[in-house]
A and B are shown apart, each in its own frame.
Chain A
Amino acid sequence: EPEVTQTPSHQVTQMGQEVILRCVPISNHLYFYWYRQILGQKVEFLVSFYNNEISEKSEIFDDQFSVERPDGSNFTLKIRSTKLEDSAMYFCASKGSYSGNTIYFGEGSWLTVV
């Protein structure tokens, strides 16, 4: 069964460093997302990406964050100058079309900022 894959599964970084979280969405999907989940809390939307550009973003997704689809298969989330409060599980997700298809999530990348 096709799945969204994410790397790394866990990353520890020092405050102020930059991290890149990587995702390979399901092949032939067109919509890509990043969500995050702080420990013990609900899943929160960060950004959606379609046709090589951001289509929606939340208030959380400020200038510290950026996304990129550098090639035909990868979708990355870059977090610059990480803060302690960026520690969370980051989920990548993808969907096949605008409507009628559900959003499938990866297993997540657990980011710990120390």
Chain B
Amino acid sequence: GESVGLHLPTLSVQEGDNSIINCAYSNSASDYFIWYKQESGKGPQFIIDIRSNMDKRQGQRVTVLLNKTVKHLSLQIAATQPGDSAVYFCAENNNAGNMLTFGGGTRLMVKP
């Protein structure tokens, strides 16, 4: 059946290209940010995190960039593969609380 809910922005890339997924956050007090990958019917899977005292962090094929001035977070995936196809969520946390606030998500589709 047809799903009802938020219409996710979609990024479609060719296999092997680099992908950039963006996220805007609203809470200036947030000091910890995480990117999660969610495949259909599964739970959010941790990809990479960054603290507010950093502006860049690299993992294996992934890089997270944080711009606190404009409250913007991005996830770069190098050499995107079909297995990267999923919905990607950014999440933020602040020391005043112990919970994550998730963004709306972006669907990444990788064309072979």
Contact = CB atoms under 8 A, between A and B. Distances in A.
Nearest to B102: A43
A33 interface: yes
Q: Looking at chain A, what size class is its interface with the partner chain?
A: 20 to 34
Give chain B's interface secondary structure class. loop
Interface string A37-66: 011111111001010000110100000000
A44 B44 CA distance: 12
B46 A104 contact: yes
B59 interface: no
A50 B45 CA distance: 22
B79 interface: no
Given A40-B5, A41-B5, A42-B105, A55 B43 contact: no
B6 A40 contact: yes
A107 B98 contact: no
B101 interface: yes
A22 to B, nearest CB: 15
Nearest to B98: A48
Given A105-B43, A107-B43, A56 B97 contact: yes
Given A39-B3, A42-B103, A48-B98, 7 more contacts: A33-B99, A38-B5, A40-B4, A43-B100, A58-B99, A103-B34, A105-B46
